[in-house]
Structure 1
Amino acid sequence: MKHIIPILALALLFSCQNTAQTSKAQQNVQQAQPVEVAIKKGKARAYFASGCFWCVEAIYESVKGVDESISGYSGGHTKNPTYAASNTGKTGHAEAVEIIYDPEVVSFETLVDVYFASQNLTQVNGQGNDRGSQYRSILFYQNDAQKQVIVSKKEALEKKLNIKIAAEIYPFQKFWVAEDYHQNYEKRHPENGYIRNVSVPRLNRFKANFPKALLKDNH
Structure 2
Amino acid sequence: MKKFLSILAITILFSCHNQAQTNTKQKAVIDAEPVVVPLKDGKARAYFASGCFWCVEAIFESVKGVEESISGYAGGHTENPTYEASNTGKTGHAEAVEIIYNPEVINFTTLVDIYFGSQDPTQANGQGPDHGSQYRSIIFYQNDEQKKIIQDKKAALAKELDTKIAAEVYPFQKFWIAEDYHQNYERLHPNQGYIRNVSIPRLNKFKTKFPQLLKDDKKH
- TM-score tier, shorter chain, comes to over 0.9
Aligned match of 1:216: 215
2-structure distance, mates of 1:108, 1:13: 38
Q: What is the Cα deviation at residue 84 of structure 1?
A: 0.3
Aligned match of 2:171: 171
2-structure distance, mates of 1:217, 1:13: 48
Aligned match of 1:93: 93
2-structure distance, mates of 1:19, 1:130: 19
Letter matched to residue 214 of structure 1: L
Q: What is the Cα deviation at residue 13 of structure 1?
A: 9.6
- Unpaired segments ≥5 residues, structure 2: none
How has the CA–CA distance of structure 1 residues 204 and 12 changed in structure 2, closer, same or farther, with 3 Å as cutoff?
farther
Give CA-to-partner distance per residue, 1:18-37, whole Å, 9 cap, x none. Answer: 21110000000000000000
Aligned match of 1:128: 128
Q: How many residues align?
A: 213
SS for the counterpart of 1:18 is helix
2-structure distance, mates of 1:175, 1:48: 10
Equivalences for residues 16-55 of structure 1 within 5 A: 17-55=17-55
1-structure distance, mates of 2:13, 2:104: 43
Q: What is the Cα deviation at residue 215 of structure 1?
A: 1.2
Root mean square deviation, CA, Å? 1.9
Kept in 2, the 8 Å contact 1:16–1:132? The answer is no
1-structure distance, mates of 2:27, 2:55: 28
What percentage of residue pairs aligned between the two structures are identical? 72
Kept in 2, the 8 Å contact 1:54–1:184? The answer is yes
Aligned match of 2:110: 110
Give CA-to-partner distance per residue, 1:159-183, whole Å, 9 cap, x none. Answer: 1111110000000000000000000
- Unpaired segments ≥5 residues, structure 1: none
Q: What is the Cα deviation at residue 16 of structure 1?
A: 9.0
Aligned match of 2:139: 139
Q: What is the Cα deviation at residue 216 of structure 1?
A: 1.2
How has the CA–CA distance of structure 1 residues 73 and 162 changed in structure 2, closer, same or farther, with 3 Å as cutoff?
same
2-structure distance, mates of 1:65, 1:78: 32
Kept in 2, the 8 Å contact 1:48–1:98? The answer is yes
1-structure distance, mates of 2:184, 2:94: 18
* TM-score of the pair, normalised by structure 2: 0.92
Structure 1 position 193 matched with structure 2 position 171:
no
Q: What is the Cα deviation at residue 14 of structure 1?
A: 3.1
